[in-house]
């Protein structure tokens, strides 16, 4: 017997499902969180402000540099961007680990050996950042400009920690400030180009 359903109901059920809305580029968020947290920490590493104020880094490390980047990384996984997903998730975890290390681990370490522990922590991140820099050569000049000084920052800070050298630490701080500025530029470009729907801030794609 023919169905008594209204034609409108049948048509609604058989029409293709509406397309899911596009996911906004989370790169701007990830880069901004990384830039600000790196900037604030590097101000202290460079010796520009008293170390007594350094705890101001921890909230940024937990929420903006840490949680913000971790979320950006998860969204990049959804967008199928392996490089950005790995970078943002990893550096988000770095800032969370940094906050935990400074708050809970450093106070328990033998002061004479704390530098070696910090140096090992930073050296591991220098290695990771170095191979991510190689991968960045297929992204854009703006991203390469973030990863090159970031690799140098981690390497120099690791050397400074192992050597117990304030001078080397300060050089690492200045490199960190350069890294923060390039990350802010890349974030600004991502936001501006997305908002204007065209390239108004150049990033020079390399792929």
Residues 179 and 153: beta-carbon distance below 8 Å? yes
Is residue 3 included in any domain, yes or no? Answer: no
Is residue 154 included in any domain, yes or no? Answer: yes
Is residue 14 included in any domain, yes or no? Answer: no
Is residue 202 included in any domain, yes or no? Answer: no
CA distance 25 to 23: 6
How many domains is the chain partitioned into structurally? 1
For the full predicted model, state whether its pTM sits above 0.85: yes
pLDDT above 60: residue 206: yes
Quick one: pLDDT band at residue 38, thresholds 50, 70, 90?
Answer: very high
Is residue 12 included in any domain, yes or no? Answer: no
User: DSSP labels for 41-73?
Assistant: HHHHHTTSS-GGGGGGHHHHHHIIIIIIHHHHH
pLDDT digits (tens, 9 = 90+) for 157-205: 999 999 999 999 999 999 999 999 999 999 999 999 999 999 999 999 9
Query: Which tokens go with 139?
Result: 């992204």
Is residue 204 included in any domain, yes or no? Answer: no
Which pLDDT does position 207 carry in this prediction?
76
Is residue 67 included in any domain, yes or no? Answer: yes
Question: Where in the sequence is the domain holding 122, given as residue range(s)?
Answer: 25-196
In angstroms, the Cα distances linking 81 to 54, 89, 130, 189 are 34, 12, 19, 18
Is residue 10 included in any domain, yes or no? Answer: no
Which pLDDT does position 21 carry in this prediction?
56
Mean pLDDT of the chain: 91
């Amino acid at each position: 017997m023919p169905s008594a359903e209204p034609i409108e109901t049948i048509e609604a059920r058989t029409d293709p499902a509406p397309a899911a809305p596009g996911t906004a580029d989370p790169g701007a968020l990830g880069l901004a969180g990384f830039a600000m947290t790196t900037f604030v920490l590097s101000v202290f590493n460079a010796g520009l402000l008293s170390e007594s104020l350094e705890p101001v880094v921890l909230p940024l490390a937990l929420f903006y540099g840490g949680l913000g980047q971790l979320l950006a990384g998860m969204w990049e996984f959804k967008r199928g961007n392996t490089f950005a997903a790995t970078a943002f998730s990893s550096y988000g975890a770095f800032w969370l680990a940094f906050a935990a290390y400074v708050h809970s681990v450093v106070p328990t370490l033998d002061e004479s050996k704390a530098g070696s522990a910090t140096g090992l922590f930073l050296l591991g991140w220098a290695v990771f950042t170095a191979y991510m820099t190689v991968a960045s050569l297929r992204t854009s000049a703006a991203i390469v400009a973030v990863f090159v000084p970031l690799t140098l920052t981690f390497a120099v800070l690791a050397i400074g920690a192992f050597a117990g050298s304030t001078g080397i630490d300060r050089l690492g701080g200045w490199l960190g400030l350069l890294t923060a500025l390039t990350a802010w530029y890349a974030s600004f470009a991502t936001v501006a180009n997305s908002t204007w729907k065209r390239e108004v801030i150049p990033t020079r794609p390399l792929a």
